[in-house]
Amino acid sequence: MEENHKNQQENPFSIFYYRGEVWIQKEKAKAKKLKKTSWWKKKKSSGICYYCKRKFKPNELTMDHIIPISRGGESIKENIVPCCKECNSKKKSLLPIEWEEYLQNLKKV
């Protein structure tokens, strides 16, 4: 029974909780506003993906919440990073624990 299937206890994001649809809409609106700020434009113009550290054209980067809004992450500068499309789609398709593994592997390269 050592090899248990991935359960919630292993999930590094499990301390965050679902805050409700109204809250999610509010954070999404906040993110939209942040997209228009010079802070975000400056971040994006660096062209570096926060996760894989590769360089992209600024318009190839998207806004990503390190802790997704759906998991209780807020639309604050500390939680928002530029992210390439590849990392973005990986992050969406992987379980949080698998995403963590992906990040660990990136660091090793």
Contacts with Zn ion by CB under 5 A lie at 49, 51-52, 84, 87
For the bound state, the minimum distance from the C-beta of residue 93 to Zn ion, rounded and expressed in Å, comes to: 14
Closer to Zn ion at the Cβ: 32 or 55? 55
Q: What is the DSSP string of 60-104?
A: GEEEEESS-GGGT--SSGGGEEEEEHHHHHHHHHS-HHHHHHHHH
For the bound state, the minimum distance from the C-beta of residue 47 to Zn ion, rounded and expressed in Å, comes to: 11
Closer to Zn ion at the Cβ: 33 or 85? 85
Nearest to 34 by CA among 63, 68, 69, 58: 63
Closer to Zn ion at the Cβ: 25 or 45? 45
Closer to Zn ion at the Cβ: 41 or 85? 85
For the bound state, the minimum distance from the C-beta of residue 104 to Zn ion, rounded and expressed in Å, comes to: 15
For the bound state, the minimum distance from the C-beta of residue 89 to Zn ion, rounded and expressed in Å, comes to: 10
Place of tokens 């604050």: 76
Tokens linked to 37? 């700020």
Q: Give the span between the Cα atoms of 49 and 27, in whole angstroms.
A: 22
